[in-house]
Structures are given as structure tokens and as C-alpha cells.
Structure 1
Amino acid sequence: MDRAGADRRPRRRVRRHRLRRRPLRRPAADRGRRHRPRRELGRRPRRPRPRHPRHRRPDRTPRPEGRRHRGGGCVTTRSRRSPAALALTLLALLALLLTTAPTARADTIRDQQRWALDAVNADAAWETTRGAGVVVAVLDTGVDASHRDLAGAVLDGTDLVPHGAGPGDPTWAAHGTAMAGIIAGRGHGADRGSGVVGVAPEAQILPVRVLLEEDDPARKQKRAEGGNAVAEGIRWAVDHGADVVNLSLGDDSESAHPDPEEDAAIRYALRHGVVVVASAGNGGESGDPVSYPAGYPGVIAVTAVDRAGSRAPFSTRRWYASVSAPGKDVIIAAPGDRYMQGWGTSAAAAFVSGAVALLKAAHPELTPAEVRRLLATTARDAPEGGHSASLGAGLVDPAAAIEAAGTDRPLTASLANSHTAEYFGPGPRSGPVEEGEPPWLTPAAVTAGAMFLLAAALLFFRVGPAAPRRTSGPAVRPDRWTG
């Protein structure tokens, strides 16, 4: 995803709370010691008279368990409450603690990702297929195959960039890993209910590294050397079994122009039955420049929409737009089992590549042209006139496309085949996203905590303080503790 104009939020500075302290009062036995008169020789000092009758006890009578212990400068009192009341109180406090955890992490990664999956009607498509048997080539900055949400989903790919960061470096594979997660993330944990799940979670990713991350120090050197890794990567992916090629990259600069090698490579893919998907560009706020490879004939060019289904402000508006998909506030996987929130037409293209994988899994006989037309004729929220430069034919709906492909419904829609703009680079990220609270923090826990508190309160007031118990041994001093 592109990072231009990123909304980098400053990290909140967290300071430790200082423990407030105040001097402990000296024990009563030590107070005023300097001002006591010296004891006269031969005379036994008088025993001080208790201030209250309840403190008067016969000599040699063991003190009750409820006595006050003085030591170490702290005064502690042994509890005389009913053991049952204490147990219920502790359980209530535990339940209350669990239910009052910070709400900032109340949503899990899957919950935050849910809106985008709902936007493309993924659940309905999964009733037919989840993309098994389809290979999606991700031509990008590399893919972190060790990410827990991509376990078992990444095939052995290739690296067409001879220098730059490598696996494990902080400037390696961030953008490519994000795209792979959107396409074929499988989640993790119990029933794979945590983390990122892709549009086609049973599809496989074929990683092809064709460019470097924007913050890679070797990126400028790579550009100066020239070459056409994108064209080479497309041909390599086709020759190694790819069914879909995802190009979440491009050039939407003022000097952008069609490249004969890239055009030929895309035509090579289409002739071999491989669908090519590309991002439309992130120049919506800078004059909507034309971008490539999204503008080449036969490519499915994807624009971005927000949660409301409206065109994202950054999304390029050009005649070559085919369909639209979520591209704003999208939860993405990042190397090192991390997660980020980002935006860009890169993400939108990845969603459509996942949709194509579902369609190809259900109907492998479809040609790239048929896939393109199916996505257009079944798109939801079509703009006025059936097509626009902002949204293409509308929001992609793989479930509807799968259903339409199984009927004799004619495919009459036609899309512009003219050259268009392309986008590259990762989209700006608003900051890391952490896993949320586990599923046991539910309303049921809140109810249980309230019931425990009520039961403890009733039992406390009915039982009340227990009478002091006599013991034949000396009083036991409580263990020391630190706060």
C-alpha cells in the first residue's frame, strides 16, 4: 500500500504511576519515649490503664484472633468475617476485574476486519467455495510466509530484485504480506477465529518479489538501474502455475506511460487464461493521473471505497475502472505476526483478486474476459448509467458472480479497454493494531460478576462480624507483604 500522505499518529507517551507514599506513624509504644521520666530504682512501674473497656483483659489471657498486630511500621488487622462471605467476595471481585478490562482493545482483529468481508459478501460466497485449488501470484515486495495467519498458504516463489532488504529486516515484505493476507489469510487459533482471514482463505499465494519497500535504502538504486521486473514477474508467475496475478503496484507519476514489455507480458498472461488484477491508483487528490499497469487492456482495474460504499478520496478516477472494493481503514497483516490499519487501492485490488480466486475455484473453465464481465454485471451498488470512473461497475460481489456463472444468463456488459493509471507502494498506515480481548469477556461475565457481588453482599450483612475466638496458643503474626 502506498504511504504518501500517511496519517502518522504520534505514539502516546505512557508514564508509570508514581506510588504515593507518606511516613508511617510510630507505634504508640514508641511515642514520647524521650519525655518519659526515668523509672525509680526498686519500684515497679504501674501498668497503663486501658482507654476503653473492651481492651481490658485478664492477665495471661490469650488475645483473640482479631487482635491488632504491630510490626514493621505497618498495622494490619486479621479479618473476622465469615469464610463463605470472604470467598464470595473474592469471586465477585475477580469477575468484576475481568468485566472491567480496558475497552480500547475490546474489538478483536477479526471484528475490526469484518466490515470489509461483509462489503464483498464473502460469507455467501464461502457457502459454495473458499478458493481451494487456485493459485494467486502476488507481485510485490515479498511475503512473510512465517506469519501465523499465512501458515500453509504460501508457496515457494522467486525474488527478482538482486539487492535490498532480506527476510527478517524491518523494511522487507510489509506491503506484500498485507496483500497476501487480504487475498488468502487463514487466521489462527481455535477454529482459526483470530487474526486476519482472506477473501479466499483456501487459495494459495505464489510470492514474486518485483520491487522494494518505500523505506528500503536500496530502492533508489533499484530505480536507477532500470530493468522491468514487473514484466518478468508476470511471465514467471504464468509459467509456474498462477491462475490470478495481483498487481497492487504501479506508476502514477507525471512521467507514467505504457511500457511495451509490461503490455506484452499481460497479453501473455491473458492468452494463457490467467486473470490480471491491478490497483487503479492513489492519485484522487492529486489530479487523477493515469497509472499503469491498471490501464492496460484486459486488466481488471480496481478503485477503492470506504465503509459507506463511497469512493475513497484518494482513489483515482479514470475511465479504465472496472469494479470497486474496500480500500480504507482496512486491517492488514504485517511481518512478525503483527497487524496494521491502512488504506489504498492496493488493498482494493487484493480484495478483487480474492474474489476472482473464489470465482475460478467454482468455475475453473472461465476465461479472463468472462471473469471480468461477470464481476461487472453482478457488481452491487452500480453507479448511475451502470459505470463510472470513480466506482467502475460497482462493488464486487463474488457470490453473485458465482451464481451467475452457473446460469445461462448472457454477459452483456462491456468495459473500457483503454490504458489507465497504476499505483505502487504501500498505503499510509495509521498505526499498529493489537489483538483484542479474548472471547470470554462477554455480557455473560458481566452478569456473573453482578450475581457474585449481590450474593456476597447479602451473606455479609446477614452473618456480620464473627465473635473473637479463643485459642490456647499465641497469636500468629501475619506474613509480611509489599504493595
Structure 2
Amino acid sequence: MLLLGVLPTCLAACLVTGAAAVPWPKDGLAESARGRQWPLRAMDVRDAWQRSRGAGVTVAVLDTGVDARHPDLTGVVAQGPDLTGAGPAGSVRHGTAMASLIAGRGHGPGRALGVLGVAPEAEILSVRVTLENDDPRRADARISARTRLAVARGIRYAVDHGAQVISMSLGGGEGSYEGSPAEEDAVRYALGKSVVLIASAGNDGDGANRRNFPAGYPGVIAVGAVDERLRCAPFSNRHDFLSVVAPGTGIVSADGPGSYVVADGTSSAAAFVAGIAALVRSRYPALTAMEVRQAIQDGARPHPPGAADAYGHGVANALGALRAAERLHRVPLAATVPRRPHIEVDHDRSRQLIGLALLLVAAALAARVAVTR
């Protein structure tokens, strides 16, 4: 299982998979992190926060694990199981980065420092299902075999432990691994429980453009990437199953303890859309997983003509998704019962009419008794 989006950079974009990280200058680290969060503006996230901030929603992050000690994620993360069978986690940078984009809360006075996620009041359930791309244990065939089963097990674990949204910034489109029956069954299980599934579309769009899984399973929200000008990123995979695209270049996120990184990839794009799903789920909990998916697609900014394979339904927009969800929202049954018109009643007149009616009934009964005798 490959991670889709750990392409660290400093200030310049780097689209070479496996590129080495360039340390971010330590001075003003947290301050500059907040200042570089252009996706919040591009997706109208701050306007969406007037309606929802993701409260009450648990987003399962199926990834390399999440560092709950990062200052932007303090009190946000519940640790689930390690399903890789690889032993101690070691680096959990990728999972930490994705969690911060979904539910980062910043830190410091007024939480003005660090990274804010799209749904800063949501909770994260971390389920470790894969290793970092540079982890040497990937070469171990036994660990690799277990990891292939881990995503299916992770989906089921997340569903059974209360996750309403599952974010999967990973994929197995390279080499011989093209998904599995167990994984597809787990996807159907989650959708049957009305859990929203989001996955990254893949990062080889300018090359092999493989069909990537779990993004390629029916019902999963497959997410591609755009740059700051909302143009499709060259590396973003293009397929007819693409749902939407979201920011995926120059993305600042949490990294190691108290640090940050800038990266490119559809991993980040998928995490942003998982945050939008959490906003919708929080505001409209009665919507089904398919309705949440439809709201995200209907609320997206339109794509250029003839570019559906590159953009899906368009660029994901938090405010647009909430507005679309409002239109889909089921009106409670009690509210659909028409109210009777309010009539002003003359109570004295009513009492007179009731008395007259009683007298007529009594007279009719007396007449009946006389006839019978």
C-alpha cells in the first residue's frame, strides 16, 4: 500500500516521488504555517465554519499512524490498532499530516499558530494500516502481505468503532496489487452502514495513470488534486470514477513533533475532502453516505468543459457542499404535517350551542321512551 502525497518541499514544488525533505526554517515556524494555508480560502472553509465545524463527528484516518502529541492535534486523536504487524511505528509523519488537514486545531494564544484543519471540531480515530514510503520494512514480503489485508480490516474496525467518515490517503495501484475482494467487501460493509469513504485518486497522472484503489471502488469519493490557481495538477490521476478535486500542491501540514512540512499530492486533497464530509455529517447527521457524497459533488465549483476525467464534478468547496446538503436534507416527519388554521373562538357562543345540543338530545330520548311505552 503506497502513500499518495508525501512529496516534501520547502518553498518550491517537487513532483518527484520519494524526494528528500528539505528542513523548514525553524524561525517563525508555526506563524508561517498558518499564513500558507491557501486551501482554506480556495474552498471557502471559513465561511462554511459559520454553519459547521465538524463537532460530534469521528473521522478515521487509515494511514501510517498519527502523532497525538503534535501541538495542533492535542486532545483530538484516539489511537486505534496497528494492523500492519510491522512492530513499533517509528515515523508517523504521513498520518499526522493528514490528520492535521482534517481536524487540526492550531495552538497558542487564540489558537493562532500552526495548522487548522477543515473540520477543527471533529475527532480523529487513527488506524495504522501501512508504513511510510521510505520505511525499509516494506521490503519484507511477510509484512507486505499483511499490509495488503490491513486496509480491509481497518475499514471494518473504523465502522465498528463509531467512525462516520473514513479517510484513506493511500493506494495500491502500482505493480501487481490492484485491490482485493476483501477490501471491496469492506467498502460495501462501510457503505451499508452509511459511513462516508474518501480516498486519493493517485499521483501518476502524468505517467501510467493507473486505476488506483481504494479510490476506484464504487461508492468511494475519489479525489484528485489542483494547484493554487485551481488547475489540475500534472501528477493527479485522471479517471471516469473521479468524484472531485481539491488543493494538492504546496500544502502545509503537521509533520514531526512540533514541526511542519510543505508537500504535493492527492493525499492532501483527499484529507481536505474528508474534512468537508465531516462538516456535512455534523450539520446534517440524517443524510446517508451517498447523500453526503452527492452534496460534495453538487457543491463543487464547475470544471472546465470536457475535463470531467481530470476534475470529476469540479473543485471541492466546503460552503457549496453544506448548501447542497441543505437541499438534500430530509424534512422531519412532524414538520410535514400541515397545521390547522388558527380560528378565533367565541367561547360564550360555543357554550350556548353546546347547551342547546344537549337539550335537543335529551328531548329526542324522552320522545323515544314515550313511543316505546
Q: 1:238 to 1:408 in 2, by over 3 A?
A: closer
Q: Give 1:220's aligned residue.
A: 139
d(CA) in 1 for partners of 2:138, 2:124: 24
Letter in 2 for 1:117: L
1:249 to 170, 176, 185: 170
Q: Give 2:49's aligned residue.
A: 126
Letter in 2 for 1:371: V
Check if 1:398 corresponds to 2:318. Answer: yes
Higher mean C-alpha deviation, range 395-404 or range 103-112: 103-112
1:323 to 244, 259, 264: 244
C-alpha offsets along residues 323-370 of structure 1, whole Å, 9 cap, x if unaligned?
A: 010000000101211100001100000000000000100000111111
d(CA) in 2 for partners of 1:401, 1:279: 19
Q: 1:10 to 1:261 in 2, by over 3 A?
A: closer
Q: TM-score, normalised by structure 1?
A: 0.62
d(CA) in 2 for partners of 1:226, 1:378: 35
Q: Determine if contact 1:284/1:317 at 8 Å carries over to the other structure.
A: yes
Check if 1:278 corresponds to 2:199. Answer: yes
Q: Give 1:292's aligned residue.
A: 213
2:115 to 176, 196, 199: 196
Q: Give 2:190's aligned residue.
A: 269
Give the 5 Å matches for 1:169-188.
169=90, 172-188=91-107
Q: Give 2:371's aligned residue.
A: none
Q: 1:227 to 1:254 in 2, by over 3 A?
A: closer
Letter in 2 for 1:140: D
Q: 1:226 to 1:360 in 2, by over 3 A?
A: closer
Q: Determine if contact 2:103/2:121 at 8 Å carries over to the other structure.
A: yes
Q: 1:11 to 1:297 in 2, by over 3 A?
A: closer
Q: 1:6 to 1:406 in 2, by over 3 A?
A: same
Q: Determine if contact 2:155/2:166 at 8 Å carries over to the other structure.
A: yes
d(CA) in 2 for partners of 1:9, 1:276: 30
d(CA) in 1 for partners of 2:316, 2:290: 16
1:251 shift after superposition: 1.2
1:401 shift after superposition: 1.9
Q: Give 1:25's aligned residue.
A: none
Q: 1:7 to 1:104 in 2, by over 3 A?
A: farther
Q: TM-score, normalised by structure 2?
A: 0.80
Give the 5 Å matches for 1:339-354.
339-354=260-275
Greater RCO between the two (CA within 8 Å, min separation 6)?
Answer: 1
Decide which structure has greater helix share: 2
d(CA) in 1 for partners of 2:281, 2:192: 16
d(CA) in 2 for partners of 1:227, 1:313: 28
Q: Give 1:112's aligned residue.
A: 36
Q: 1:9 to 1:267 in 2, by over 3 A?
A: closer
d(CA) in 2 for partners of 1:296, 1:373: 16
> Structure 2 unaligned runs (5+)?
8-15, 331-373
1:273 shift after superposition: 1.0
Matched position secondary structure for 2:170: coil
d(CA) in 2 for partners of 1:224, 1:363: 39
Letter in 2 for 1:201: P
Check if 1:239 corresponds to 2:157. Answer: no
Letter in 1 for 2:119: A
Letter in 1 for 2:234: P
The number of equivalent residue pairs is 316
Check if 1:149 corresponds to 2:78. Answer: no
d(CA) in 2 for partners of 1:135, 1:224: 29
d(CA) in 2 for partners of 1:125, 1:206: 23
d(CA) in 1 for partners of 2:154, 2:79: 14
Q: Determine if contact 2:276/2:321 at 8 Å carries over to the other structure.
A: no
Q: Determine if contact 1:306/1:327 at 8 Å carries over to the other structure.
A: yes
Check if 1:230 corresponds to 2:147. Answer: no
Matched position secondary structure for 2:156: helix
Matched position secondary structure for 1:214: coil
Letter in 2 for 1:131: G
Matched position secondary structure for 2:51: coil
1:398 shift after superposition: 2.0
Q: Give 2:362's aligned residue.
A: none
1:218 shift after superposition: 1.6
Check if 1:368 corresponds to 2:286. Answer: no
Q: Determine if contact 1:245/1:277 at 8 Å carries over to the other structure.
A: yes
d(CA) in 1 for partners of 2:214, 2:135: 23
Q: Determine if contact 2:130/2:147 at 8 Å carries over to the other structure.
A: no
Identical positions, percent: 47
d(CA) in 1 for partners of 2:182, 2:40: 35
